[in-house]
Structure 1
Amino acid sequence: MKITVIGCGYLGATHAACLAELGFDVLGVEIDERKLDALAKGDLPFYEPGLDTLLVKQVESGKLRFTSSMKEAAEFGDAHFLCVGTPQRKDGNGADLTYVDGAIESLAEHLTRPTLVIGKSTVPVGTAERLLGILQDKAPAGTDVDLAWNPEFLREGFAVEDTLTPDRLVLGVRNAEAEATLREIYATPIAGGTPVIVTDFPTAELVKVAANSFLATKISFINAMAELCEATGADVVTLADAIGHDARIGRRFLNAGVGFGGGCLPKDIRAFMDRADELGVKDALRFLREIDRINLRRRKRVVKLAKAELGDLEGKRIAVLGAAFKPDSDDIRDSPALDVAVALHAKGADVVVHDPKATGPASAKHPQLSYTESVEEAARGAQLVLHLTEWKEYRALSAAELGDLVAERTIIDGRNCLDQAAYRDAGWTIRSLGRP
């Protein structure tokens, strides 16, 4: 089977390289010429651990190549994965389906033989049925073109692992033929024990946004508890440990801090609420509005803590450790760390940002901030240090050595993962969200 992957951003590039690793001949379709040129040379336009090596390997093997031609893709592929982005609309909270619709319409006009199109993009429930209609109306092959929905569950920093050995496969199909095709594509992970859930279009479309909404709820719940802990003197980390021992709750994602960000959770829960409103059941997801508010409040809380420590922020040098929304990524979309840095700069602070991977994207988006290539440069002369992205490099810093660089030994741990005792022993004042 020959497979195409339409849209070679983060999801598509990962999926294409991993399908080639599974033994398929893969053609990636990308209309961004700069990105296309980079991928064709085996250069990854973003950071994802392990993917750069895999991309080079598959491009050099000839199993993976790239094109901007949808006609070439239609002629090449026996199955087509749709991996284009669905960003938040500029005029509201809903998902912008411009790229999805454009890709489907462009592909459809060239489909002259029986084929399966497989959606992986995160879309509002009801989209798949509509796209099937477009495909069969516009494709010369008509009803011989079928659609399936196979949502992605990639964690940035673990994308290769999550593609090659996923924790589940959800197959939204209309018939046994589509299911058989997907089972052939995923034969290797299925043989390795990956559970398979076969379902209909609406359920498959809901799985990703439901999962992200649950995770966002869990994170915002513990951050709401952090607000109570700050008001009462309780310790949110100990609280999370205690309730996390309950098997019905679990400890994962109960890490209070500056909140979640990235290209999925924030925009997905907003699009989910928007779609529920369109379906006439907005009350069902009303709670997600408060989840979003709690999350955004934590960023403001860090700014307030900084002001409490420094007073007037005008001219004060602040070192911000972290720009990516999470470690092991250079993704700055909806990054809490950058939001805090920008807010402090707007109040007159001299903000210097360090990140192991994300200073390039961050400086392109927020050139008003200063950036350094080393933690030492960022910390030198700082009157306040903010730890806002949980990179292992930051957790491994020596509190004593860092203290020799700063003007004032004051740090705000926005991720609750630094060794508080070590910092206090080294003469630091350390403030953490939700802890005494």
Structure 2
Amino acid sequence: MEWQKKLEILADSAKYDVSCSSSGASRGKSQGLLGTAAAAGICHSWSEDGRCISLLKILMTNVCIYDCAYCVNRVSSDVPRATLTPSEIVDLTLNFYRRNYIEGLFLSSAVLVSPDYTMERMVEVVRRLRTEGRFNGYVHLKAIPGADPRLIAEAGRYADRMSLNIELPTKRSLNLLAPDKNPDTITAPMAQIRNTILETRSDQNRFKSAPSFVPAGQTTQMIVGATGETDHLLLNLTEKLYQRYALKRVYFSAYVPVVQNHPVLPGQVAHPMLREHRLYQADWLLRFYGYTAGELLDDLNPQLDLELDPKCQWALRHPEQFPVEINKADLMTLLRVPGIGPVSARRILKSRRFSALRAEDLKGLGVVMKRAKYFIQCSGKRVETLNYETRILRPLLVREEPLKLQVPSSQISFFDINPGLWIPPAKEVIVT
């Protein structure tokens, strides 16, 4: 099979893996080395300054020994198969980089022969890129659950970021849809990577010449909607993953039916991308706004409201917290106000040191007044005098948030003559 055909198959097979984003790693120019990795990020995604970042995102192989019900590459699936050798991947990455097609590599793989066999070949790719190709660009490597810890440790010496997919939220779901996989083989290498990162950083604090290990950290991904877990369970799991494994990101992948009439899989799921979007907004609140999973959802409110962002949903359930006095509230209290984000909250703190703020000043500071006006007051004067009753405010907030998600029909390909322009579902949405 020609390499072009292999690349078409393996790039298409990789489109369901969403756990790639800004790298967070910096590699400057070095004499005798090829390429750089900028902290702005490397991927087919959108950076913070609005640039589209490109990388070679492929599977090493889509030949798999497992029969996961939700996966298009499962062993029982009748799809075209292909495998790239380590030499082919190295050559493709270097040649595409020299032609300015890409800025880095995102390499994942199905499990070929065994976890150790697959991981060994992936490590060979990144080792040869760094040592023989002198490649100094960004590399995100998927670790294979069940692989020897020594292979995981070696991979971390060459990769900027590593990730392991947790796949499904519970052990019961994993046993149902992916009985060949064991949750312990996923969490054990996550703990190993976390511990080695912490040890390496400690060494680097003492010795500047200490080698780095996965400097951009690790991430994971879970499928949402293939089984019946609530958003409450998903957010609690997300919170625990951040706390236990110091992850950079938890990614959510809306379940896409790739198997027709499967006895244990749902058919068409209602609004899968909208639910994914709400989970990303809730994840943002966990990471940057000081919320806990238990505050956002509980046993009485186990699902996120698809019509309202999670912050507005929380605010409507806690009328006792409002109105917030703009000229006196601290940072964390300001961040609880719908329409106020981290940037606008800090601008408020800075500006009010010189004079009391009025309602008409807030828009210029970045406050989204169409939401914030219901929850704030300035110098004791309410901006909007409506009561905090859900039946009154909810229709108004829903009306102010028209949400339109455009979903691509396929991953952008190197071989598209005119792929067109599409706006991806937001993975880095700042909730205000």
TM tier relative to shorter chain: under 0.3
Please give the TM-score of this superposition, normalised by the length of structure 2.
0.27
Q: Give the number of the structure whose residues are more often helix, by fraction.
A: 1
TM-score if structure 1 supplies the norm length?
A: 0.27
Say which structure is richer in strand: 1
